[in-house]
Every structure is written in structure tokens, then in C-alpha cells.
């Protein structure tokens, strides 16, 4: 029988499955950053307030273009958290490489919680703009940056733990490296932002007449650049979830392989999700390692005795159901 994809298969995320969510989120977030930058450049680099530096904050450009800031910022926040949530759900239902240890589950849960906080703060900081609600805006911005880094750190820790069990998964390795770079850059930019803000505050006279930029133009400009770069870091953090969610296409019930290579890859993912590391009823064999059949490339075949007490049985009942490798309920408990 010819392997011909139907219309529904081709239309579903253009072959990306759930990976379309972070991809679209990246495009929207990047469109927001670039459009605000282009508007500011096209207007001739205006200073929106007397105390602003030569280079203005993205928050001020967003406040001057409030409707655009709210719409694109809100959509970006929703798609960002949706990507994080789908990563959690698809691993839970074994549609993508599932968590085998409670440590990974805890890391994932904290990442989702921090991601929710950062998404809410992103929406709030667009609504409460820097002109009319300065204190509220910057409080939301600081919480957003911190929660974003926390989410990235714990999500990276989860991926790092999973990679130990899936050492041949190149997408997972790429996701870990990408998130590591993103977290390092985010921490650096946050430190620069906070340091320059603090230094500017220390240099500005208490009786300033609205010409603060005279005293700390370099510091405030550097802080503004750091904020723009943090916006770019956020874009690429959202993009990193494409690598995490893309394998879900191979375990989708709508996936129709286009050729023999695609069919083989789908079997590898499906068999890996079904057969990986089930703890035998009698526990681990002597020596602490076990192998079930022929492990698929990229999926683990062994668990050490040290980790045995912390292994989560992928086939254990969840939410009152026993699930198969595709995440579909097959038997009610």
C-alpha cells in the first residue's frame, strides 16, 4: 500500500505536529521585538521622556505603541506557556521521551510553574505601561525576567536528566545545548541590566530637574541594550521547544510516513516509547541492569541499581487509565 499522506495529515502543523506552537510563538515574539525596534529607528531614535538615555528601553517604545505591545505581547505569552505545558503533557502521556525519574518530574513541574508566572507577568507588563504605571511595569518586568530564567534552568535540568537515558537523541541534545546557552546569556544580561540601573541611580542627583541622562547616559543606554537582548533571548527560549515537541509527529495517530525512512523513524519513536525501561514485576535482575528486547535507537535499555528506587514505571496507571506508547487510553482501571 502506498504511503500517501491525506489532507489532514499535511495540514496538521504542516508536518510539525505540536511543534507549530513554539515556532509560531517565536515568530510572534520576534515580530514584536523587531517591529518596536523598526518603529523607533524609523522615527529617528526619539527620547520619549526627558530623563531617557540616547538608547531607550524596549518598555518605553512599547508604551508609545501600546496597542501593538499588548496584542503581540499577550499572544507571545500564551504561546510560550502553551509550549511549556505541551512539553509537560506529551512527556506525561509518552508521546515524546518520557520522564523516568521523579527528579525529572519535579524539575518539569517547577519549570511549568515558573513559566506560568513569567507568562502572566509578560501580559501584565504590556498592559501596565512604563509611562502611566512605571512602578508596576518594572516590578512585572523584573519578575518576568527572574521567572523566565528559573523556568529555563529547571527545564534545562529536566532535559539534561532525560538525555542521560536517551543519549542518542540528537534533538534532545540540541535542546539542552540551546537552553544552556540561553540561560547563561539571560543571567549575564540580567546582571548587566541590574548593575547599570543601580549605578545610574547612584549617580543621579536627588534634585534632578529631569535631565538624568546627562549623568548616566552610558549606564542607562547599556541597561536598555540589555533589555532588548533579554527580549531576543526570550524569543529563542520559545523556539527551543520546537526541538522538544517535534518528535510528537512520529507518535501521532494522524502521522502517515512519506517514505520508508520516515516509516522507520516513526517505528523507532513508537517502539521506544512503548518498550523503554519498564520495571519487571520482580524488580531489577542481579547486577542492577535490565534490557527489554531490542531497544530502539535513542531510547534507554538500562537503569542502574542506584536509580531503581526512583524509576517511574512508564506503563503505570495515570489518572485512572493504563496508557500505551501513543498516550491513548487503552484500559480503564
* CA atoms of 295 and 123, how far apart (whole Å): 45
DSSP 8-state class, residue 329? E
State percent of the chain over pLDDT 90.
43
- At 83 the pLDDT is 94
- At 100 the pLDDT is 67
Selected residue with higher pLDDT from 96 and 241: 241
- Mean pLDDT of all residues in 85-101: 80
The torsion defined by the Cα of 108, 236, 120 and 110, in degrees rounded to 10, comes to 10
DSSP 8-state class, residue 278? P
- At 6 the pLDDT is 47
**Residue written as cell 532535559?**
159
Quote the cell numbers at residue 311.
524509576
* CA atoms of 104 and 102, how far apart (whole Å): 5
What pLDDT, in 10s, does the model give residues 9-21?
A: 454 445 677 889 9
What pLDDT, in 10s, does the model give residues 213-265?
A: 556 888 889 999 999 999 999 999 999 999 988 888 776 544 444 444 444 45
Residue 109 has pLDDT above 70, yes or no: yes
Residue 209 has pLDDT above 70, yes or no: no
What pLDDT, in 10s, does the model give residues 262-298?
A: 444 544 554 444 333 333 344 444 444 333 333 333 4
- At 199 the pLDDT is 84
- At 104 the pLDDT is 80
- At 218 the pLDDT is 85
Contacts of 121 (CB under 8 A, 6+ apart): 140, 141, 143, 144, 147
Residue 310 has pLDDT above 80, yes or no: no
Any idea which of 185-194, 196-205, 270-279 has the lowest mean pLDDT? 270-279
Residue 181 host element (H or E): helix 170-203
Rg (the chain; Cα; Å): 24
What pLDDT, in 10s, does the model give residues 39-91?
A: 999 999 898 887 788 899 999 999 999 999 999 999 999 999 999 999 888 88
Amino acid at each position: 500500500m502506498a504511503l500517501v499522506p491525506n489532507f489532514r495529515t499535511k495540514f496538521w502543523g504542516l508536518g510539525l505536529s505540536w511543534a507549530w506552537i513554539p515556532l509560531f510563538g517565536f515568530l510572534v515574539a520576534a515580530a514584536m521585538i523587531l517591529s518596536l525596534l523598526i518603529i523607533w529607528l524609523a522615527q529617528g531614535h526619539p527620547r520619549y521622556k526627558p530623563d531617557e538615555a540616547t538608547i531607550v528601553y524596549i518598555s518605553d517604545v512599547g508604551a508609545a505603541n501600546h496597542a501593538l505591545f499588548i496584542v503581540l505581547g499577550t499572544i507571545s505569552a500564551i504561546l510560550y506557556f502553551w509550549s511549556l505545558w505541551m512539553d509537560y503533557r506529551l512527556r506525561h502521556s509518552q508521546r515524546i521521551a518520557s520522564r523516568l525519574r521523579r527528579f525529572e518530574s519535579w524539575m518539569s513541574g517547577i519549570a511549568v510553574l515558573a513559566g506560568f508566572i513569567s507568562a502572566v507577568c509578560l501580559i501584565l507588563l504590556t498592559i501596565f505601561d512604563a509611562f502611566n504605571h512605571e512602578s508596576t511595569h518594572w516590578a512585572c518586568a523584573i519578575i518576568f525576567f527572574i521567572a523566565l530564567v528559573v523556568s529555563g534552568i529547571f527545564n534545562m535540568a529536566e532535559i539534561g536528566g532525560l538525555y542521560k537515558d536517551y543519549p542518542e537523541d540528537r534533538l534532545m541534545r540540541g535542546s539542552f545545548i540551546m537552553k544552556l546557552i540561553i540561560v547563561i546569556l539571560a543571567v549575564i544580561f540580567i546582571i548587566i541590566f541590574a548593575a547599570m540601573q543601580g549605578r545610574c541611580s547612584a549617580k543621579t542627583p536627588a534634585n534632578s530637574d529631569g535631565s538624568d541622562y546627562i549623568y548616566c547616559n552610558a549606564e542607562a543606554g547599556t541597561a536598555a541594550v540589555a533589555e532588548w537582548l533579554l527580549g531576543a533571548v526570550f524569543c529563542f527560549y520559545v523556539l527551543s521547544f520546537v526541538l522538544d515537541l517535534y518528535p510528537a509527529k512520529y507518535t501521532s495517530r494522524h502521522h502517515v510516513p512519506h517514505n520508508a525512512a520516515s516509516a522507520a523513524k516513526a517505528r523507532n519513536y513508537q517502539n521506544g516509547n512503548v518498550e523503554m525501561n519498564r520495571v519487571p514485576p520482580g524488580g531489577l535482575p542481579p547486577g542492577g541492569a535490565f534490557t527489554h528486547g531490542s531497544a530502539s535507537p535513542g531510547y534507554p535499555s538500562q537503569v542502574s541499581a542506584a536509580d531503581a528506587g526512583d524509576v517511574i514505571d512508564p506503563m503505570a496507571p495515570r489518572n485512572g487509565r493504563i496508557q500505551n506508547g501513543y498516550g491513548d487510553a487503552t484500559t480503564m482501571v
